[in-house]
Structure 1
C-alpha cells in the first residue's frame, strides 16, 4: 500500500503556513505566540502556553480577571476569524487563541497549587478533544471567529464545573 492509498481516517492534511505568516502580529497572537505552529498537538501546546500568561494576571481582583478573559474572548473572535480567513481554512489547527481563553476560563477558579493547575489543564484538554455535546454541535455549526472561539469557551466552562465538583465534593472525602 503506498502513501496515496491511505484511508481518510489516517490522513492528516499538512497545514503549511505561508512564508512570514507569523510575522503579522494578528497571526502571531492567533497562533498563541507560535505555540500553535507545533507539528503535533498544537492545541495542547497552546493550552500549555496559556498558563504562564495566566500567572501574569491571576493575581488581579476577580472582576478584573473576568474582564480580561471577556476582552480576550472578544478580541479572539476577530483574531481567529481574520487568521482563518487569511489562511482560507475555517479552523486551522494552529489557531490556539481559543485554547488560551478556554484555559483562562477553567483557571478562573484560581487553583492554588500545581495539582490544581494540572487538573485544570487535563480537564480542559479532555473536553476540547472529546467534544461532548454541545461542544461538538457548536464546533460544527458556528461560523467564523465566533465558531472557533465558542466551543473552547464551553469546554472551559465544562472543565471548570468538573474542577469545582472535584474540589468541592471529592477532595474533602479524600483528605
Structure 2
C-alpha cells in the first residue's frame, strides 16, 4: 500500500465493510478526549494531509471518489467534535449522528461541494458537513 493510500484509507479502515465512511468517522471519536482545540488542530491537519493524499490517489486514475477513501470522513468528524465543550457521551453521539446525517443526505452546501472534481470535492463535502454539524451543536449548546 502506498503512503497516499494508507492516509486515504486511514491505515486500511476504509477497506472495512459495510459502510466504510461510518468506520472512518468512528475511528476518530476518541480524539474528543483531547479537547476542542486539539480536535480543531487535528481536523486542519487531517484535511490538509488528506487533500494531498487524495490528490495523489486520484492521479493514479479510477473512480473520482471511491468509497474506500475515508480520510475525508475523519476530517469532518473531527471538525464536528471540535464544537463540543466537553467529552460527554451525549455530545459525541449527537456530533456523530449530525455529521453522518449531513454527509449522507448532502443538503446544500454539502451537495455543491460533493459535485466539485478532484481532491477538493472529495474532502470539502465532508469538511462542510462537519462544520454544519458543529454549528448545530454550538447553537444547541447556546440554547441549552
Same fold, judged at TM 0.5 (above): yes
**Structure 1 residues 55, 133: CA separation in 2 closer, same or farther (over 3 Å shift)?**
closer
Aligned length: 143
**Of 64, 74, 78, which residue of structure 1 is paired with 2:48?**
74
In structure 2, the gaps of 5 or more residues are: none
- Alignment partner, residue 16 of structure 1: none
**1:33 matched to 2:11:** yes
Q: Mean Cα displacement is larger for which, 31-40 or 101-110?
A: 31-40
- RMSD of Structure 2 on Structure 1 (CA): 1.9
* Matching residue of 2:70: 96
For 2:60 and 2:77, the matched residues in 1 are separated by: 25
Q: Deviation per CA, 1:87-132: give whole Å up to 9, x if none.
A: 5110001100000000110100234211111110000000000000
Distance in 2 (alpha carbons) for counterparts of 1:47 and 1:73: 14
Distance of 1:121 and 1:66 partners within structure 2: 15
1:133 matched residue in structure 2:
108
Distance 2:63 2:120 in 1: 14
Distance change >3 Å, CA 44–CA 68, structure 1 → 2? closer
Give the unaligned 5+ runs of structure 1. 1-22
Structure 1 segments of 4 or more deviating over 3 A? Answer: 64-68
TM-score normalised per structure 2:
0.89
Shift of 1:68: 3.4
Please state whether the residue corresponding to 1:33 is helix, strand or coil: coil
User: Higher relative contact order by CA 8 Å / sep ≥ 6: 1 or 2?
Assistant: 2
Aligned mate of 1:42, from 16, 20, 32: 20
User: Which residue number corresponds to residue 132 of structure 2?
Assistant: 158
Q: TM-score, normalised by structure 1?
A: 0.74
